Structures are given as C-alpha cells and as structure tokens.
C-alpha cells in the first residue's frame, strides 16, 4: 500500500525539464497515490497539494533526495555465479564456465537468484533495471513481489521440425500482453537477442521481423570484445552493429549493451533515437574486454545509460560504483577532466536510463512524475564535508549511503530495512541454489 509522504526541507537532486541535473536546496516534496504531487521551496504549497495531513513526514536534515537509479544492463540471476568465474577473458568465461553451469538452471533457481539481485539493488538505491536472462516469468513475479520496476527480456524461440530454433511470436505476444500490460505498471517486455555470434544466420532477420511486427523493444550485446568484431568481419564482412542493422534491428527501442569496439559508422547507427547504449565499465574492465568510448558516442548523438552487467562479471550491482568508474575512466583515458561530469552521469542513471527501460515518467523529481525516489544520508565520514551535492553523489557516495528507497510511492527499503523482501530467507535460498549449480 502507498500513503502520502512529505519530504521536509530536503535538498533535491534531479534533472530539470531540459535534462540538466542540479540541486535545489530547502525543498518540500509531496507524494500522493504513488506520484509526486508537488515540489516546492514552500512547505505550505507542498502540504496543500496533499489535500490532507501526510501519513508520514521525512525529515530532510543530513539527507539528499534523488530519483531511484536505473540499471540499463543486467543478468540478475547470475548472482548465483558471483565470484565463481574470475580472471578470465569473456569467451573463456562464457563458454568454459558460465554456459555449462547455466545448463543446470531451473526456474526455481532463477527465481532465487533474481530475488537476491533485487535485494542487492534495492539496498544500493536502484529501483529500475533491465534483465536479460531465462525464465522471465519467475523473474517478473519476483519483481512484482518486491515492488521493483523491471524491463524483462523474453527468449522467444522454439525448436522447429528441422531441429533449429525459430522465433515464437505467440510466446512474445503473450508475454507482452500479460507482463507489459500488468496493472501494477512495474513491468516492461523486450525481445532477447543475445549477440551477433550466438545464433544461426537465418534466425536474426526472423527475430528482427518479429520485433518490428509486434513493436517490441530489444535487448542485445554489441561489440563487447575485439574477438566478436574479428569473427563478425570474417563471417559477414561487416562489424557487429552494422550487421545487426543489416538484419533489420534498431527499428524498435533497443538496449545495446557494451558497445566497446566501434567505428564511426557504427556510432552513427547507434545514434538512432530508438537506441540507448548501456555502458558497463566495471564488467568490461574486469573481463579485459576494453573500454567503450562514451565521449565519442555522445558526440555522435547516441544516448548512453549505465549498467552493472551481471554479478558474475562485475561482481556487484551497486550502480554508485559504476557511476564513479564511468566518469573517472573517460577523464583519464582522454586526459580531459571535464568529460562525463557528475551531472551528466546522474542524468544517464536516472531519467535517461528510466526512459530507455520504458518508464517515461520515472527518473525526475517533478509534479506528476512517478514517486521513484531514494534518500541518501550525508552525515557519514565519507560524505563529510558534503560540498557540491551532485559531485558528492557520483564521486564520494556508495550504495551503503542509501537510507531509503521508494518505487511508485511505496517504501521498498526504509531506514536500511527491506520492507517488501525477506532478506534472510532470500540469502538462504540463494546459497542453496548456488550449491545446486556448483
């Protein structure tokens, strides 16, 4: 259940109507019926917007209010494989360790790993995420139980009479109908297209056609490693993004993960307004894959969000770490301290990411927008002195500084206590599931 909440005299960090992130000090924010009713420098205005006494008043002293973070690329149930396949490059990591263990997955194991991921993300201020994995219906149920916004990818393939996989439009349409139109408003659906290298050539145009015909978004890995690019050139005489465009992709909203090894032509392809590049700096570095040139993508006109990738390759889901890393890497590699400044990073992980996940009215603190909010405590040693609040959130804060998280006006965590999930049970079930996969 959601009640009315008044955030009292609290600094608000949010993008304005132009997308620029700033901090408004001494602000009163009213939340009613799951949405933001008022954002005002005057207490009386915020109270009037509620129309009655608030059910709860949150004291803003030593706190910041900002939107919930949006994780634009994730494999949630891979929490079960955390710290199990390290110090390997991507293709050895994937084919020698991850795929063999994933062959033992069941829907119950996926559900256990997904709940663990939800608990971890909620504890670190993330209220929205993409998920590219299997058994999407179990993951959807876990997200609904948690009250978490999720863009699920559906593996809409079936084996045909020829023994080869073929698109299953009925499965995808059913998922879009049942999940994408769920009355909670918490779920969105995408088509899972793993990469340019995992399927038979004939399958890709069929998947692209199905996405277009059903007007379904797509989640896909692109140019994560140099080997992927080299193999794609050998197979198709085109680079991955160019070849996926040739197959017919990027005509519906697309979450394009990684995009590490691109040329200028591919950046122009990915600059389509339908595409958001999910930059995953920690995973790309840990797997030795390289580093996406985010400044070049932005200069080409591409939209960029930030993702953790899965917890088997990151190995955590704390977006605060990835925000800081993304900014520092761009500055260091280009030797330009002005690149990817804190306001731009926060825009990527709030309203930009939320919009790409399909939640167009989340990610800003403004009247009428969804009350997807987090409260960060600023009286820890690591945030003292606070200085510029926007800089502090990107360069100094960590997920452990998040005190409370609200999605659709409902507390998922309040004063570090999870309100919708049984954390002890989740950890117990996840450890049992991990043993089943080992």
The C-alpha angle 35, 41, 47, rounded to 5 degrees, equals: 50
Q: Is residue 194 part of a domain?
A: yes
Q: Is the pLDDT assigned to residue 44 strictly greater than 60?
A: yes
The per-residue pLDDT for range 144-172, each reduced to its tens digit, is 999 999 999 999 998 888 878 889 999 99
Q: Is the dihedral of CA 220, 225, 230, 234 positive or negative?
A: negative
Banded pLDDT at 427 (limits 50, 70, 90): very high
CATH number at residue 150: 3.20.20.140
Are 407 and 68 in contact, with CB atoms under 8 Å apart?
yes
Coil/strand/helix, residue 154? strand
Q: Give residue 240's domain range.
A: 69-356
Residue 55 forms part of a structural domain: no
CB contact at 8 A, 68 and 349:
no
Inform me whether the pLDDT recorded for 1 exceeds 70: no
Q: Give the pLDDT of residue 345.
A: 98
Reported pTM: 0.96
Give the pLDDT confidence score for residue 417 in this predicted structure: 98
What are the pLDDT digits (tens) for 254-277? 999 999 999 999 999 999 999 999
In a domain, 11, yes or no: no
Count of domains in the chain? Answer: 1
Average pLDDT over residues 104-120: 95
Q: Can you give the pLDDT at residue 162?
A: 81
Q: Of 125, 146, 150, whose CA–CA distance to 404 is shortest?
A: 125
Residue pLDDT, tens place only, 293-313:
999 999 999 999 999 999 999
Across all residues in the chain, what is the average pLDDT?
96
pLDDT at 99: 87
Residue 293 in domain: yes
- Indicate whether 414 belongs to any domain: no
Residue 418 has what pLDDT?
98
Residue 387 belongs to some domain of the structure: no
| pLDDT tens per residue across span 319-358 | 999 999 999 999 999 999 999 999 999 999 999 999 999 9
| Residue 110 domain flag | yes
In a domain, 180, yes or no: yes
């Amino acid at each position: 259940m959601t009640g009315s909440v008044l955030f009292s005299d609290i600094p608000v960090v949010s993008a304005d109507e132009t997308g620029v992130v700033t901090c408004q000090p001494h602000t009163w924010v009213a939340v009613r019926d799951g949405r933001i009713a008022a954002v005002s420098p005057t207490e009386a205005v915020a109270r009037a917007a509620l129309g009655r006494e608030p059910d709860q008043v949150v004291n803003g002293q030593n706190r910041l209010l900002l939107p919930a973070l949006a994780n634009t690329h994730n494999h949630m149930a891979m929490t079960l494989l955390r710290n199990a396949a390290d110090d390997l490059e991507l293709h050895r990591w994937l084919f020698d360790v991850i795929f063999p263990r994933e062959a033992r997955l069941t829907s119950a194991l996926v559900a256990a790993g997904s709940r663990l991921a939800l608990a971890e993300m909620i504890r670190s201020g993330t209220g929205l995420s993409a998920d590219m994995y299997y058994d999407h219906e179990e993951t959807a149920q876990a997200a609904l139980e948690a009250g978490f916004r999720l863009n699920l990818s559906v593996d809409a393939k079936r084996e045909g009479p020829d023994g080869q996989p073929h698109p299953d439009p009925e499965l995808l349409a059913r998922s879009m109908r049942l999940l994408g139109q769920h009355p909670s408003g918490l779920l969105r659906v995408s088509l899972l297209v793993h990469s340019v290298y995992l399927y038979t050539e004939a399958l890709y145009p069929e998947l692209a056609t199905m996405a277009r015909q059903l007007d379904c978004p797509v989640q896909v890995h692109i140019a994560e490693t140099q080997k992927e690019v080299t193999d794609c050139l050998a197979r198709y005489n085109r680079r991955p993004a160019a070849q996926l465009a040739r197959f017919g992709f990027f005509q519906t909203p697309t979450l394009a993960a990684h995009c590490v090894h691109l040329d200028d032509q591919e950046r122009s392809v990915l600059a389509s307004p339908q595409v958001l590049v999910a930059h995953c700096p920690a995973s790309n570095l840990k797997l030795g894959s390289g580093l996406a040139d985010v400044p070049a993508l932005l200069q080409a006109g591409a939209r960029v969000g930030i993702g953790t990738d899965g917890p088997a390759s990151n190995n955590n889901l704390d977006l605060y770490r990835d925000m800081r890393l993304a900014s520092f890497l761009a500055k260091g590699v280009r030797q330009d301290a002005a690149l990817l400044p804190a306001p731009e990073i926060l825009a990527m992980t709030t309203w930009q990411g939320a919009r790409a996940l399909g939640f167009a009215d989340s990610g800003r603190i403004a009247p009428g927008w969804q009350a997807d909010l987090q409260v960060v405590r600023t009286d820890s040693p690591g945030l003292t002195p606070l200085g510029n609040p926007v800089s502090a959130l990107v360069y100094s804060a960590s997920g452990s500084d998040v005190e409370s998280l609200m999605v659709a006006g409902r507390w998922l965590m309040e004063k570090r206590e999870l309100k919708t999930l049984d954390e002890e049970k989740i950890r117990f079930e996840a450890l049992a599931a991990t043993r089943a996969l080992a």
